[in-house]
């Protein structure tokens, strides 16, 4: 079990958003987290990462309690988040962004291998490596965000809505890439594009109003009435 979240509660200020959430992500698998807007998917990822402080509950990673660990420590442990909105360094070039991705000591030693690896995953980025990140198109930025995250050599990759704003063609390419990445890395994927997400995922969780309402193998969820009605618009 790479990641285990137990009875996690969290929120902003006085407003509680998550209510006793529990979920697990297996080694080298893709776990999809789906749900309507404002359900708390992003909040879940942010709480796991430590950007939002958990209120209660427990988060363990490879058996270590990491509940209150700050984000930069988690990156060192091997957890990394591709946040909503990409959060690139706009005035640095593509390559500088990637180098920053390998900021932590553990990753810095493997800088060149990692660069080769992400450039093979995203050849497009290699073409643009001297371009400022801020001027990339939406799709390229998304690729760069994922690539930058991989540069830190994570063992757990949290991805928030990678398909947002991407053209249909790019979305399917991207999801294929995740399958490739999964060979080495555990992935937790938050997606609006429910059918596509569940199609690549191994396990799925449905989050509504800050509570897990449904979970199981991704294929089963795709077939469930609840998911079909609420998320696939069938």
Partner 1 sequence: MKLLVVENVTKKFGGLVALNGVSFEVDRGEFVAIVGPNGSGKTTLLNVINGVYKPDGGRVLFEGRDITNLPAYARAKLGMSRAFQVPRPFPELTVLENVIVGAVFNGGYDLHKAREVAREVVDYVGLGRRANELAGRLTFNELRLLELARALAGRPKLLMLDEVMAGLNPGEIDNMTKLIRKIVEEKGISALSLVEHRMKAVVQLAHRVVVMHQGRVIAEGPPNIALNNPVVVEIYLGKPWR
Partner 2 sequence: MIDLIPYFLNGLIVGSIYGLIAIGLSFIFGILRIINVAHGSFVMLGAYTAYFFFVLWAYPPLLSIFAGLFFGMLMGLALYYAIIKPLSKIGELHVLVALFALGSLIAEIARIVWGPDVVGFTWNVGSVAVSGYVIQFSQLAGAAAALSIALLLQLMLYRTNFGRSIRAVVQDPVGAQMVGIDVDRVFALSTAIGIGLTTAGGVLLTLFIPVGINPYMGDPYTLMAFVIAVMGGLESTMGAYIAGLIFGEILSLGYPLFSRLGFAGPYQMSLFIGFVILILFLLFRPTGLFRS
Ligand X SMILES: Nc1ncnc2c1ncn2[C@@H]1O[C@H](COP(=O)(O)OP(=O)(O)OP(=O)(O)O)[C@@H](O)[C@H]1O
Chain positions contacting ligand X, by CB under 6 A: 12, 15, 17, 35, 37-43, 135-139, 165
Pick the stretch among 19-27, 84-92, 191-199, 222-230 that binds partner 2 (CB under 8 A): 84-92
Token readout for 81 is 């988040």
Smallest distance, Å, CB 148 to ligand X?
17
Cα 90 → chain centroid: 21
Check binding of 136 to partner 1 (CB under 8 A): yes
Residue number of the CB closest to Mg ion reads 42
- Under 8 Å between Cβ of 11 and 17: yes
Smallest distance, Å, CB 111 to ligand X?
26
From candidates 103, 165, 177, 224, binder to partner 1 by CB under 8 A:
165
Task: Tell me which residue of 52, 56, 60 sits closest to 25, measured CA to CA.
Answer: 60
Smallest distance, Å, CB 183 to ligand X?
27
- Under 8 Å between Cβ of 211 and 21: yes
From candidates 172, 177, 215, 224, binder to partner 1 by CB under 8 A:
172
Residues 15-44 that bind partner 1 (CB under 8 A): 36-38
Q: Among ligand X, partner 1, Mg ion, none, what does residue 17 contact (CB within 5–8 Å per kind)?
A: ligand X
- Under 8 Å between Cβ of 129 and 94: yes
Task: Tell me which residue of 184, 31, 69 sits closest to 117, measured CA to CA.
Answer: 184
- Under 8 Å between Cβ of 111 and 101: no
Pick the stretch among 65-73, 111-119, 197-205, 215-223 that binds partner 2 (CB under 8 A): 65-73
Burial of 96 (0-12, 13-18, 19+ CB in 10 A): middle
Coil, helix or strand for 135? helix
- Where do contacts with partner 2 occur on this chain (CB under 8 A)? 49, 51, 70-72, 75-76, 80-83, 85-92, 100-104, 107, 148-149, 151-152
């Amino acid at each position: 079990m790479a990641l285990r979240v137990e009875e996690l509660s969290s929120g902003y200020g006085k407003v509680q958003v998550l209510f006793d959430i529990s979920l697990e992500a297996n080694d080298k698998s893709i776990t999809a987290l789906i749900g309507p807007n404002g359900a708390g998917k992003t909040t879940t990822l942010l709480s796991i990462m430590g950007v939002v402080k958990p209120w209660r509950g427990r988060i363990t990673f490879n058996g270590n309690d990491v509940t209150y660990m700050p984000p930069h420590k988690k990156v060192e442990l091997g957890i990394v988040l591709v946040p909503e909105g990409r959060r690139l360094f706009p005035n640095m070039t593509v390559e500088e962004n990637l180098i920053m991705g390998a900021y932590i000591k553990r990753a810095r030693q493997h800088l060149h291998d990692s660069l080769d690896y992400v450039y093979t995953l995203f050849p497009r980025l290699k073409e643009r490596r001297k371009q400022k990140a801020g001027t990339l198109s939406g799709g390229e930025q998304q690729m760069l965000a994922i690539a930058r995250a991989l540069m830190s050599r994570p063992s757990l990759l949290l991805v928030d809505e990678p398909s947002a704003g991407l053209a249909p063609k790019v979305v399917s390419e991207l999801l294929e890439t995740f399958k490739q990445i999964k060979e080495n890395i555990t992935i937790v994927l938050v997606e609006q594009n429910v059918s596509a997400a569940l199609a690549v995922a191994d396990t799925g969780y449905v989050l509504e109003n800050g509570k897990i309402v449904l979970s199981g193998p991704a294929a089963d969820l795709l077939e469930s009435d609840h998911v079909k009605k609420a998320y696939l618009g069938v």
